[in-house]
Amino acid sequence: MSLLSQTTSPFEQICVALDLETTGLDENRDTIIEVGAVKFQGEEIIDTFQTFVNPGRNIPEFIQRLT
């Protein structure tokens, strides 16, 4: 039996997609403000998760309009 025959289709695998929202793009200055995740199998959504993260400072107005 080859390894190729043991693999499953990507549509059969359970996957998680993550989404992070930040106060900007500078890794030294900016921080995460929101985390989201979607657990899915093929086209079926199994579960979702979303939470805000307190960045410990004001969120720039420009970023508020984007997120």
* First-to-final CA distance of the chain: 49
Quick check: 5 pLDDT over 90? no
pLDDT in tens, 43-59: 999 999 999 998 888 88
Going from N- to C-terminal start, the domains of the chain cover 3-66
Q: Cα–Cα distance between 17 and 35 in angstroms, integer?
A: 11
pLDDT in tens, 9-43: 767 899 999 999 998 899 999 999 999 999 999 99
* Fold that domain 3-66 belongs to in CATH: Nucleotidyltransferase; domain 5 (3.30.420)
Amino acid at 14: I
